Amino acid sequence: MKKNSGVSPGGGAGSDRGILPSLIEVNVLRFARLLRSGGIKISSSELIDALNALTKVSLLEKNELKIALQATLIKRASDLSFFNKSFEAFFASPEIRLEQQKKYHFKQENLARDKKEAEQVFTFRGEKLDLTDEEKIVYASLPDKEKCRMQDFLSMTEGRGTLDKSFRPFLESIVKGRLSFWYKNMAKELDEKLPRPSLGDRELDAIRDAVEAGFGSGGRDLLHEDMHKIAREDLPRAMELIRRMARLLVNKISRRYRYSKKRKKLDIRRTIRDNLQYGGALFKLRYKSRRQQKPQLVLICDVSGSMIRYTSFVLQFIYGLNSVVQQIESFIFSDRLEKVTAHFQRGKSFEATISELVAGSASWGGGTYLHRSLASLINRYGQELKKNTIVIIVSDTKTVRHRDAVQELSKLKSKVKEIIWFNTLPRQEWEDSVTVKTFSQIVEMHPCNTLSDLQKALYKLTG
């Protein structure tokens, strides 16, 4: 194994036996804090395991150190990529760490400048408006034209002598609304710029910034990317993830029950065992329920204009589900419902299936008439809807005549076992959406804007 003596764990120079135990402990704890900031769950017992493991390997061998920490702290394949990047950034050479610190300080100075710039602009009658740090940074990141527009508006209100202090809350809400609009439009760009809550350790904050910057270029975490932004070259990886998740979903909903107190079928083995205490006389009978039929799946995907950005995900979701489960009826809808099951069951490649589907369908990018589509499902495909049917809907809920849609959704719910709704609308927009509020009263709705959302929803569904 190649020696890498230039590497010391998280800032401490050390040799195998010379490192103070407390320094190793402190660095492992700091490293765990960095991993936790990336959403990795690490318990105290895992930390103890990591410390014990480090006594068994040579700390001067970077590879051994990495394997020991990985084996004890990481328990999910999807966390490996974040772990790898964090390890490289945390156990980097002093030169690289210095570079990380410099970049971090530079970023902090820029943020402070941005905040100051916003504070100078957002005043009313000589007093600063009550804006959050995030809002100030959003302002500083706006295109010059928009900045000028906001400044003009503020100077106009400032100039009007008739407006007294009571106008201030109103002005603040106008400004906040405008900034919120831009925040949504520039989400990706701002996401990299906005400061994260501090980890209480400036050096660690700098390392975390370096790790996250790594994810921003090339090694992005697909799980947390808005699904319509997933790049074409990342599609195979995304598709593999979707397939795995589809398998998780199918396993959950096909899980069957075993034993029951209901009198259905005699469980001879249990009966004999429980009656041994009565000398073998069959005094108490034990039953087992008949194995439940695997549920029938019906998948309905929205391919209307508002969902067009998510087409790629929707198609992969249908393809992924069809590739792991045989018995599934698939539909797409916009202004009308269209059955597409046959396209996905011919054992063709993804590209061939999609080309055929898109060429043969008129549904793409139309308006959303959920009520009409659901009515069509109930009336024309009623035979598919049974008491063991689970309906999966993938849609952003944006539809016309949503009250009619609610009625149809209720009708559908009464006919099937369960309706699961995967909503591609970002979670933060749910509060403002009437349709989300209304539909979620009837069906179980899960956010599905990123693959991570989908994964969380599936973990929730699979208990």
Partner 1 sequence: MNKAISADFLRKKFKEMGYICGEEVIITTYLALCLKKPILIEGPPGVGKTEMAKVLAGAFETELIRLQGYEGLDENKALYEWNYQRQLLQIQISKENRQPKELEEDLFSFAYLLERPLLKAIRTPYRVVLLIDEVDKCDEEFEAFLFEVLSDFQVSIPELGTIKAKHIPIVVLTSNSERELSDGLKRRCVYLYLDFPSIEREVEIIKAKVPQAGEKLTLEIARAINYIRSNPDIKKKPSIAETIDWARSLVALNSDRLQGSLVEATLNIFLKSQTDQLTFREQIGGEELVQKARMGVFK
Residue from 18, 126, 200, 463 touching partner 1 (CB under 8 A): that is 463
Tell me how far apart the alpha carbons of residues 415 and 389 are, in angstroms, rounded to a whole number.
Answer: 8
DSSP codes, 42-58: --HHHHHHHHHHHTTS-
Contacts with 116 (C-beta within 8 Å, 6 or more apart), sequence order: none
Which of 20-28, 200-208, 244-252, 422-430 is the region at the interface with partner 1 (rule: CB under 8 A)?
244-252
The answer to whether residues 66 and 90 touch, using CB atoms and an 8 Å cutoff, is: no
Would you count residue 232 as binding partner 1 (CB under 8 A)? Answer: no
Which of 24-32, 107-115, 235-243, 333-341 is the region at the interface with partner 1 (rule: CB under 8 A)?
235-243
CA trace torsion 314, 319, 323, 326 (10° rounding): 90
Alpha helices in 277-390 (DSSP H): 311-324, 341-344, 350-359, 370-380
Which of 41-49, 112-120, 162-170, 408-416 is the region at the interface with partner 1 (rule: CB under 8 A)?
41-49
Computed on alpha carbons and rounded to an integer, the radius of gyration of the chain in Å comes to 29
Would you count residue 293 as binding partner 1 (CB under 8 A)? Answer: no
Residue type at position 204: L
Residue 196 three-state SS? coil
CB atoms within 10 A of CB 205: 22
Residue from 25, 64, 158, 404 touching partner 1 (CB under 8 A): that is 64
Residues binding partner 1: number (CB under 8 A): 51
Residues 245-264, interacting with partner 1 (CB under 8 A): 247-248, 251-252, 255-256, 258
- For 183, 325, 359, the CA distances from 344, given in Å and listed in that order, are 39, 11, 14
Residues 350-389, interacting with partner 1 (CB under 8 A): 350-352
Longest dimension (CA), the chain: 100
Would you count residue 266 as binding partner 1 (CB under 8 A)? Answer: no
Residue from 188, 262, 273, 437 touching partner 1 (CB under 8 A): that is 273
Would you count residue 68 as binding partner 1 (CB under 8 A)? Answer: yes
User: Which among 222, 277, 125 has a CA at the least distance from the CA of 454?
Assistant: 222
* Residue 146 C-beta: closest distance to partner 1, Å: 41
Q: In terms of CB distance, is 57 or 442 closer to partner 1?
A: 57
Which of 292-300, 349-357, 383-391, 406-414 is the region at the interface with partner 1 (rule: CB under 8 A)?
349-357
Which residues of this protein are in contact with partner 1, per CB under 8 A? 1, 41, 43, 45-46, 49, 52-53, 56-57, 63-64, 67-68, 70-72, 74-77, 80, 235-236, 239-240, 243-244, 247-248, 251-252, 255-256, 258, 269, 272-273, 276, 279-280, 323, 347-352, 459, 462-463
